[in-house]
């Protein structure tokens, strides 16, 4: 009986350990994106395609937009954003499987945590910025050679979320 209990306890411990860090990015987002205390913003490939076809956008910007496939963004809401942002950061870092991503940058100080990751793919690249103020995920056939255009996309997302 005691042996069965120990084996059962080890099995449960193993299962709970196996759950940490094994979720893809979309699954990790789902842990947070439907919460009432989170602001969520998403742009799909179809929307980027429509934006790139706009006559009001310059040709260099159109080319950049056509390379984007998806943008997701989560931001903590409400009055206790710092604590909530810390919670979101920890949930995401504990659950997202980042083993195939290259960490480009990490910054931590008394008030903020920021981690920036990139994953090179055959058909598209993925960029992931995780901080205690927001989580941003971008996919597409783009790279970071033109940071100004990348910053413009972040500005568009930020303006849509009222940041």
For the chain, 163 residues long, the average pLDDT of each consecutive 10-residue run is: 43 40 90 89 89 80 82 86 90 93 90 90 90 91 67 65 58
One-character DSSP codes across 114-152:
EEEEEE--SS-EEEEEEESS-EEEEEES--SS-HHHHHH
Q: What is the DSSP letter of 101?
A: S
pTM value?
Answer: 0.76
pLDDT of residue 148: 61
Q: Is 138 left (phi over 0), alpha (psi -120 to 50) or beta?
A: beta
Predicted pLDDT at 157: 62
């Amino acid at each position: 009986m005691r042996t069965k209990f120990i084996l059962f306890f080890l099995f449960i411990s193993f299962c709970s350990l196996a759950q940490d860090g094994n979720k893809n990015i979309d699954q990790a987002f789902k842990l947070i994106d439907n919460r009432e205390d989170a602001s969520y913003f998403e742009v799909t490939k179809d929307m980027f395609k429509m934006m790139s076809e706009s006559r009001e956008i310059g040709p260099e910007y159109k080319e950049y937009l056509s390379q984007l496939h998806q943008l997701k963004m989560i931001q903590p809401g409400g009055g206790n954003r710092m604590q909530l942002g810390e919670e979101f950061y920890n949930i995401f870092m504990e659950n997202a499987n980042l083993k195939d991503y290259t960490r480009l940058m990490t910054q931590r100080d008394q008030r903020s945590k920021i981690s920036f990751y990139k994953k090179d793919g055959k058909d598209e690249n993925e960029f992931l910025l995780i901080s205690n103020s927001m989580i941003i995920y971008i996919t597409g056939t783009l790279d970071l050679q033109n940071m100004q255009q990348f910053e413009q996309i972040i500005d568009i997302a930020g303006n849509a979320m009222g940041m």
